[in-house]
Structure 1
Amino acid sequence: MPRPSQVSQRRAQLIRALAQVMAQQGYEAASIREIAQAAGLAPGLVHHYFPDKEALLVALTEDLGAQWLTRLDEAEGLAPEARLRRLISLHLSVDEARPDELGCWLQIIAEAARRPSVGAVWAGVVLSLRSRLVVALTALAEARGRTLDAEAGAAALLALIYGGLTLGATAGGPPGYAATAAWALVEGLLAAAPSADSPSQAAG
């Protein structure tokens, strides 16, 4: 029986291998044999660590999600505006800094729509991403003296960010347009939000 440390090592090898093969030819076309070859393992060993390819995709989604959330923690401790700008930048930087990772995410999102096991993990990642934006938007609104529906704002901002990433990866566009549009959305939301000390708010 493999040692626990060896099991973790082999699982990590296979997760990285799936990401590598997906970046080259997509999830559907990736075979267990090709994944095993990329991991430097015999094909017959794959099923000792994952029951099927979908389980391996779930593990990759969990792994990439954890990495992404860790990167977003870089924004912690910054002033409200700097924090939100940094979160937006960190979201969008995956396009240029890690194009293979972005390719994996686009395929994960597509698979999440038809594979409940992948969809559940993806939904958890999105919830964590959105919660960070809610906190940052709330802090910025308070600093600006505004009362903002941060949940709705975060959902809109996240939709714009992912739309920008998807279009950037598939159709291109002017450099930096997604970040500019994201911040314009933030400023628009804040401008439309009532003042925290307005009569309507005080009456509530």
Structure 2
Amino acid sequence: MAEFTATTSFNTGPPAGPPLGPASEPLIVFVARGAPPRMYDDLDQLKYYLRPALLELQENFERKYGKLENRPYCYCPLIHKSTSPLDPDCDSMKSMTDILLYGRTYARDIIFVLAHWDSITSDTLSFVNVFKEFTDVKVTIRVFGTLSADHNRAFHGFDAHRVGAHYQGLIRLEEDFVIDDALRFVVRLEETRIVRIGVEESVGLMVRLTGRSEAEMYDRVLWIL
């Protein structure tokens, strides 16, 4: 098997210079997230490990919405735990901000395509902080996720700023008396957060039951955090 490195061709972040296509074409951003091990040296290498997930996400998107030839798009791999608040200066926040600044600079709408419900974060304050300074940029989120026990994944789209307003208490999505994808996102994000918190809290129990180190047990559940 070939050995891939962080320097192998895998361009992340917004495009260099003006985007392709007419101004009406949004910038499509494929987002996948991974939780970091407790000790690591190379953030770029961790991001590169998300490449298969991002390419699979792009494949599913193109199957639904058509090929991306001559349409602007980029990849945004994020490395942080779903449930942890995002520091304003962290790499994940910077990555998202760079893309939103690009949309503002070139007057482009942004579509964030997420591999999971919490590919950005399940911390609601952090979600608000990502988008709150960019209300002048039209931002759509499309999550490739499941809604029911049949595990059939589909795309669910909504206005990121509308969900942010809900989290800030400016509006209440449930008061619209319409079950739309924005409300579905709020519900599924909270469900996902509860599961991830439960898994992390189980590490201590696994240490007591197995006698293995906390670091080893943490690394075993890392994929679900």
Q: TM-score, normalization: structure 1?
A: 0.30
**Which fold has the larger relative contact order, with Cα–Cα distance below 8 Å and residues 6 or more apart in sequence?**
2
Question: Which has more strand, going by share of residues?
Answer: 2
Q: Which is higher, the Rg of structure 1 or of structure 2?
A: 1
Question: Which has more helix, going by share of residues?
Answer: 1
Q: TM-score, normalization: structure 2?
A: 0.28
